[in-house]
Structure 1
Amino acid sequence: MKISTQFDAGSVVVHDLSNPDHIRLALRPDNASEFAQWFYFRLQGAAYTRCTMHFENAAQSAYPNGWEDYQAVASYDRQNWFRVPSRYENGELIIEHTPLANSIYYAYFEPYSHEQHLNLLGEAQGSGLCQIDDLGSTVQGRDLNLLTIGSQAESDWKIWIIARQHPGETMAEWFIEGLLARLLDPQDPTARALLDCATFYVVPNMNPDGSVLGNLRTNAAGANLNREWVNPTLERSPEVYYVREKMHETGVDLFLDIHGDEGLPYVFVAGTEGVPNYNERIAMLEDVFKDAFQAASPDFQDEYGYPKDAAGQANLTLATNYVGNEFNCLAFTLEMPFKDNAALPDDDFGWNGQRSLRLGESILSAIWATCPYLRD
């Protein structure tokens, strides 16, 4: 048997591969920080062999509660991913599976590769409705691209959507793929109506370095980008620096920051209740948006989520809090599960790339319902 990780986002530490019934593995931390949760590896030579894989440091991971009721994903072709029996006991994540072929991949969640990212950019540009701009370079010199969709008229609503500040949250870029597919469909009436009166600014991947490196949460310099919004620097967090500069150039009427949550098995949003500029107008906009989103997608719910910050107690280093406060606009962090969606479970696939994609499509209906109220 052989385990390898020398590919885009590959990540695992192998301690002992001599016994297929007790393969000893460990989660590998991000390249420049201690966050560990993401794994993605290829197992070869184990066709029709019962394999039991033990992640021995699972209890020391960034979010150990994320392993409760979690099922790992696997694929033979990296196109079709399915859940495999997994359990968390005695501080270990244990995956039990018998591969039906000599080559199989296992991952924390359905990956979204850098090649897919580049293809997504190309397809968006090919629509004829999208302009691609290079905002600058990441720590390791990768391109940080912005997609601009709309006429960019001064009167347009300015809709900003960013994804994957945390690179291991790959569902975020699947979400963007679905959103773009609908927004760039000339036959979709909601998309056409939106583009008559709004310009969209979309960053499909805020953290290309971390994505390629197989990091869970940080960029190549070890920065958690979603804690860098008050004072980003070109040395530590150029990704946030460039995006924030562009936001100040365009203005923002609605902001969405797309994420995945390791522990909570729900789709939910977190608003800006604790920022200094929060007011009744923003509270009304939040209600309009959430009601419209629930109508658009049964996958979204508003009963379970993060505790709301007390007035004036929000952490402004988070993107949603910074942008919502700075631009006095509606701003949400949207979270999707790594597990299944307990509100609408699927035993075979759990939450996956396709469901993230469909959610991205549906959110355009919520945006359309909210747009008329975005400005005073």
Structure 2
Amino acid sequence: MHISSAFDGGNIHCLHCTDPSDIQLEINRDNGSDFYQWFYFRLSGAQNTTCVMKIANAGGAAYPKGWENYQAAASYDREHWFRVPTRFDGETLTLRHTPTFDSVYYAYFAPYPMSRHGDLIADAQMSPLTQDYVLGETLDGQDIDLLKIGTAGPGKKVCWVIARQHPGETMAEWWMEGFLSRLLDADDAIARAVVDRAVFYVVPNMNPDGARRGHLRTNACGANLNREWQDPTAERSPEVLLVRQKMQETGVDFCLDVHGDETLPYNFIAGPEGTPAWDDRRDLLLQGYKDALRRVNPDFQTRIGYERDAPGKANMTLCTNWVAETFRCLAMTLEMPFKDSAITPNPEEGWSPERSRKLGASCLDALYAVINRLHDEGA
């Protein structure tokens, strides 16, 4: 048997794997940080052998409650991902599986490699609606891609959609596939209507370095990008700095920041209600967007989520809060689960890439429901 993770997005340290009933593993920390929870590795040479893989340091992970009622993802072809029996005893996360083939991959969630990110950008730029820009480089020298979709003009709204500030939250870029595919579909009436009313600026992957390095939450130097929006620097968080600069150039009427939540088995939206300038108009817009999304996609719900910040007590280093306050606009954070969706379970796959894509497509319906009320004159 052999354990490996020396590939794009891989993360595991093999302590020993001589006995298939006691394979001992550890997750590596994000570089320059104490965060860890993302894992992605390959097991070879164990066909038809019952394997018990124990992640010994799971109890010290960033979100240990994320392991409760969690089932790890597995794949033979890296296209179809299914869930395997997983148990957490408070210290060790144990995966039990009998591979059907010689080689099998295991991951915290279905990975989204940088090669697929490149394909996503290349495919999107083939649309006549799209312009592809490189905002600049990450600390590791990777491109920060920005897609501009549609054209700016008098009366048109400016919509920003970003994903994967936290690189281990790969469902966010699977969501992007569904969102972009529908937005660029010339035969979709909703897509045509929103592009007629708005210009879109889309960053499908805010954290290419963390994605390639196999990080859970940070970039190359250990910065949590979603805590950098108040004072980003080129030395620590160029990804946020460059996107902020472009936002200040274009203005913002709407911003959706797409994430995954380790602990809660639900799809939900967190708003910027605790920002100093939050008002009733934007609160109605936020509720309108959430209600519209709930109506069109039963995987989304509005009952369970994060506790609402008290007025004036929002953490202004977060993207949603900084954008909402700076531009007096509707800004939101969409969260999806690493686990299965508790209200619409699928035991074989759990929350999955395909369900993430479908939710991404549904978010256009919700935007269509509120787009004419974004940043009304005099607001």
TM over 0.5: yes
What is the deviation of 1:18? 1.3
Paired position in structure 2 for 1:339 = 339
1:373 aligns with 2:373: yes
What is the deviation of 1:155? 2.1
- Taking the aligned partners of 1:128 and 1:286, their CA distance within structure 2 comes to 31
Paired position in structure 2 for 1:286 = 286
Counterpart of 1:54 in 2: which secondary structure? strand
Paired position in structure 1 for 2:348 = 348
In the alignment, structure 2 segments of 5+ residues that lack a partner are none
> What amino acid maps onto 2:276 in structure 1?
P
What is the deviation of 1:98? 0.4
What is the deviation of 1:154? 3.7
Counterpart of 2:104 in 1: which secondary structure? strand
- Taking the aligned partners of 2:6 and 2:126, their CA distance within structure 1 comes to 31
How many correspondences in the alignment?
376
Paired position in structure 1 for 2:247 = 247
Paired position in structure 1 for 2:119 = 119
Identity of aligned residues (%): 55
- Taking the aligned partners of 2:115 and 2:16, their CA distance within structure 1 comes to 32
Paired position in structure 2 for 1:129 = 129
- Taking the aligned partners of 2:151 and 2:9, their CA distance within structure 1 comes to 36
- Taking the aligned partners of 1:375 and 1:31, their CA distance within structure 2 comes to 40
- Taking the aligned partners of 1:300 and 1:365, their CA distance within structure 2 comes to 13
Paired position in structure 2 for 1:325 = 325
Cα displacement string for residues 263-301 of structure 1 (whole angstroms, at most 9, x for unaligned residues): 000000000110001011111111111111111211110
Paired position in structure 2 for 1:275 = 275
Paired position in structure 2 for 1:186 = 186
> What amino acid maps onto 1:160 in structure 2?
W
> What amino acid maps onto 2:126 in structure 1?
G
Q: Report 1:145-164 matches (<5 A).
A: 145-164=145-164
Paired position in structure 2 for 1:205 = 205
> What amino acid maps onto 1:343 in structure 2?
I
Paired position in structure 1 for 2:19 = 19
> What amino acid maps onto 1:338 in structure 2?
F
Paired position in structure 2 for 1:234 = 234
Paired position in structure 2 for 1:221 = 221
What is the deviation of 1:90? 4.3
Paired position in structure 1 for 2:82 = 82
Paired position in structure 1 for 2:47 = 47
> What amino acid maps onto 1:371 in structure 2?
I
1:93 aligns with 2:93: yes
What is the deviation of 1:127? 1.6
Paired position in structure 2 for 1:168 = 168
- Taking the aligned partners of 2:298 and 2:158, their CA distance within structure 1 comes to 27
- Taking the aligned partners of 1:375 and 1:326, their CA distance within structure 2 comes to 13
Cα displacement string for residues 173-211 of structure 1 (whole angstroms, at most 9, x for unaligned residues): 000110000000000000001111100110000000000
Cα RMSD after superposing both structures: 0.7
Counterpart of 1:226 in 2: which secondary structure? helix
Cα displacement string for residues 19-72 of structure 1 (whole angstroms, at most 9, x for unaligned residues): 110101111111221101000000000001110011111110000000000000
Paired position in structure 1 for 2:5 = 5
- Taking the aligned partners of 1:267 and 1:240, their CA distance within structure 2 comes to 25
- Taking the aligned partners of 1:50 and 1:263, their CA distance within structure 2 comes to 29
Paired position in structure 2 for 1:56 = 56
- Taking the aligned partners of 1:154 and 1:251, their CA distance within structure 2 comes to 13
4+ long deviations beyond 4 Å: none
- Taking the aligned partners of 1:98 and 1:213, their CA distance within structure 2 comes to 28
Pick which of 85-94 and 107-116 moved more: 85-94
Paired position in structure 2 for 1:302 = 302
1:140 aligns with 2:108: no
> What amino acid maps onto 1:349 in structure 2?
E
Counterpart of 2:244 in 1: which secondary structure? helix
- Taking the aligned partners of 1:38 and 1:291, their CA distance within structure 2 comes to 32
Paired position in structure 2 for 1:256 = 256
- Taking the aligned partners of 1:186 and 1:360, their CA distance within structure 2 comes to 17
Cα displacement string for residues 83-134 of structure 1 (whole angstroms, at most 9, x for unaligned residues): 0000101411000000011101000000001000000000000122110011
Normalised TM-score (structure 1): 0.99
In the alignment, structure 1 segments of 5+ residues that lack a partner are none
> What amino acid maps onto 2:333 in structure 1?
T
Counterpart of 1:172 in 2: which secondary structure? helix
Pick which of 25-34 and 164-173 moved more: 25-34
- Taking the aligned partners of 1:133 and 1:352, their CA distance within structure 2 comes to 29
Counterpart of 1:20 in 2: which secondary structure? coil
- Taking the aligned partners of 1:230 and 1:154, their CA distance within structure 2 comes to 30
Counterpart of 2:125 in 1: which secondary structure? helix
